[in-house]
Structure 1
Amino acid sequence: MSTLPFLVAVDWGTSSFRLWLMSADGTVLAEHRSHEGMSEVAASGFETVLESHLSALSVPEQIPVVICGMAGSRQGWVEAGYLDTPADIATIGENATLVPGTAREIIIVPGLAVRSLNEPDVMRGEETQLLGAYFDMPDGARYCMPGTHSKWVTMEGSVVTGFETFMTGELFSAVTGKTIVAYSTGGEGPVDARDPAFASGVRDGWTRPELTTHHLFSIRAGQLLHDTRQEENRARLSGLLIGAELAGAGLRGDEEIGLVASGALQRLYHAALSECGAQIRDIDADVAVQRGLMEAWRSHSAKTGDRKRA
């Protein structure tokens, strides 16, 4: 196991910042996380925030940085653009954008886009996670990537042939915070993936997605008429929304799915997919993005001629 720093890998989202100092063999030597997402750094600036973390870790200036996520958006540090699907996920590093005017070499990988007129879609950050997941499951055809905006991706080999985004996490937050159902759920709060109310919600959302808005109101009615508990109501709500997502993604009960997730979301989606009969390959989301960033840097280095680092 190497202990020499080789690369700084960064996943920079809208509301979060995650940085890993990595050796050449992919070992994580140090890690920094914060809430300094894209929306929080406009005043201080991206480079200032990044360098503050690198300084805290005493990272030498010759160590390069590879970034994925919203730092490459139009409102981010430097716009990194999109690769149109179908797209070979292995080429994101070759198409990375160099951040100009910095002392150290910093690149930002592009996102992916579906340029359909009727159902356009984009992802930024998940493509790097997907690259790492692909190496873990190279024979996979479908991947589920839960989050505030969940992604369902179809692949042929390393080529992304299409994907769809579902606003499941954001809807859960909105319904528990801004609608009449909030009185019955007590706000967001944790959801127990083992709660029978979650499983029943998944089944109802998956098998009858057209009734989702009716089922949402029934949560409120259930509390008024049957005094159902807030924890139970939150679990059912989460199950309904995830089940409707699975229906929208066209999940078949006997299908193999690569589940790229960590923590509470991994537990919820694993339970939901199991409830629907899917065969699940669990892939740790943090490990996937770390490997994806490393692989993106290696392909960028190979293209630009930095053979020593490639």
Structure 2
Amino acid sequence: MTTSPALVAVDWGTTSFRLWLLSRDGTVLAEHRSQEGMSEVAARGFETVLKDHLQTLSVPSDLPVVICGMAGSRQGWVEAGYIDTPADVTTIGASATVVPDTARQIIIIPGLAVRSESEPDVMRGEETQLLGAHLEMPGGERYCMPGTHSKWVSMNGPTVTGFETFMTGELFSALSGKTILTHSTDGEGKVDANDPAFLTGVRDGWARPEKTTHHLFSIRAGQLLYNHPADENRARLSGLLIGAEFAGARVRGDEQIGLVASGALQRLYQAALLACGVKVRNLDADVAVRRGLMESWQRFATTSGDRTHP
């Protein structure tokens, strides 16, 4: 195992920034995280923010950087485009976009797209996690990737055959922070994955998604009539939205799903899936995206003829 730095891997999302300094074999030598997502860096600029993080970790000036996520969006640093599904995720590195006019080599991984007039869809960042998930946990056919915009992905080997996005996280934030439910939930707050109100909400949303908007208002009514506390109301709200997501994703109680997640979302979605009878295979999202970024750089380097780095 080598401990010499070989690559900077970055997952640059809408609301968060994650950077890892990796050795040639993928060992994490250092990392840096912040809330400087795409929506926060417009004034300072992507290159300035990245330089600050690299300087904080004293990263050698000749190391390349591979980035996935919203830095490659139309409103990001450099638009990296989309690869249409069905798409082999092992090839995404070969289609990376090189950021021009930078002192070090920086590439951005493209996203994936479902080009359907009736139900178009796109992803950025998750394609790199899927590559890592495929390599770390081969044989998966269906993956759940929770987040602000949760993804449900179908795969055949390394090929993404289709996916659907659900705005569950954003809806929870909007409903708990900017609607009448704010008075019942006291804003966003944390949700306990073992809270009975959460698990009941999951089952209600999954089994009866057509009543979701009624169930949402019932949260307010329950507080007014029965003094249901804010933590219980937040838990039920979260459960209802996740359950409705499961219904939209056509979750069956007898299937196996790869859950690519970490932290609080991992705990919530695992508890919710288990409550619906699903067999869960867990893979940490950080592990998946790091593996995907390393593999993408290696494919890019091989394709471009750059063999000076991993």
Which TM-score band applies after superposition, normalised by the shorter structure? over 0.9
Residue aligned with 1:268, SS: helix
| Matching residue's letter, 2:234 | R
Counterpart Cα distance in 2 of 1:35 and 1:119: 31
Aligned residues: 310
What is the TM-score when the length of structure 2 is the normalising length? 0.98
CA-based RMSD of the aligned residues comes to 1.0
**Which residue of the partner structure matches residue 293 of structure 2?**
293
Counterpart Cα distance in 2 of 1:230 and 1:38: 31
| Matching residue's letter, 2:271 | A
How many angstroms does 1:224 deviate by? 1.4
Compare 171-180 and 146-155 and name the one that shifted more: 171-180
Compare 38-47 and 165-174 and name the one that shifted more: 38-47
How many angstroms does 1:272 deviate by? 0.4
Counterpart Cα distance in 2 of 1:43 and 1:240: 37
How many angstroms does 1:177 deviate by? 1.1
**Which residue of the partner structure matches residue 307 of structure 2?**
307
| Matching residue's letter, 1:58 | S
**Which residue of the partner structure matches residue 163 of structure 2?**
163
**Which residue of the partner structure matches residue 39 of structure 1?**
39
Percent of aligned pairs with the same residue? 75
How many angstroms does 1:304 deviate by? 1.0
Counterpart Cα distance in 2 of 1:222 and 1:35: 35
The answer on 1:219 being equivalent to 2:226 is: no
How many angstroms does 1:308 deviate by? 4.2
The answer on 1:194 being equivalent to 2:197 is: no
Residue aligned with 1:6, SS: strand
How many angstroms does 1:219 deviate by? 0.9
How many angstroms does 1:277 deviate by? 0.4
State the Cα deviation string for residues 122-152 of structure 1 (Å, max 9, x = none): 0011111111111122100000000010000
Matched ranges for 1:1-310 at <5 A: 1-310=1-310
How many angstroms does 1:306 deviate by? 2.2
Counterpart Cα distance in 2 of 1:40 and 1:272: 32
State the Cα deviation string for residues 181-207 of structure 1 (Å, max 9, x = none): 221111111101101111110110000
| Matching residue's letter, 1:134 | H
What is the TM-score when the length of structure 1 is the normalising length? 0.98
Runs of 4+ in 1 over 6 A off after TM superposition: none
State the Cα deviation string for residues 138-177 of structure 1 (Å, max 9, x = none): 1000000000100000000000000000000111111111
Residue aligned with 2:5, SS: coil
State the Cα deviation string for residues 242-276 of structure 1 (Å, max 9, x = none): 00000000001011100000011000000000000
| Matching residue's letter, 2:292 | G
Compare 80-89 and 27-36 and name the one that shifted more: 27-36
How many angstroms does 1:75 deviate by? 1.1
Counterpart Cα distance in 2 of 1:110 and 1:215: 39
Counterpart Cα distance in 1 of 2:200 and 2:40: 39
Counterpart Cα distance in 2 of 1:229 and 1:5: 50
Structure 2 gap ranges (5+) = none
Counterpart Cα distance in 2 of 1:211 and 1:224: 20
| Matching residue's letter, 1:98 | V
How many angstroms does 1:217 deviate by? 0.8
Compare 11-20 and 250-259 and name the one that shifted more: 11-20
Structure 1 gap ranges (5+) = none
Counterpart Cα distance in 1 of 2:247 and 2:48: 44
Residue aligned with 2:160, SS: strand
Counterpart Cα distance in 2 of 1:307 and 1:139: 30
How many angstroms does 1:36 deviate by? 1.7
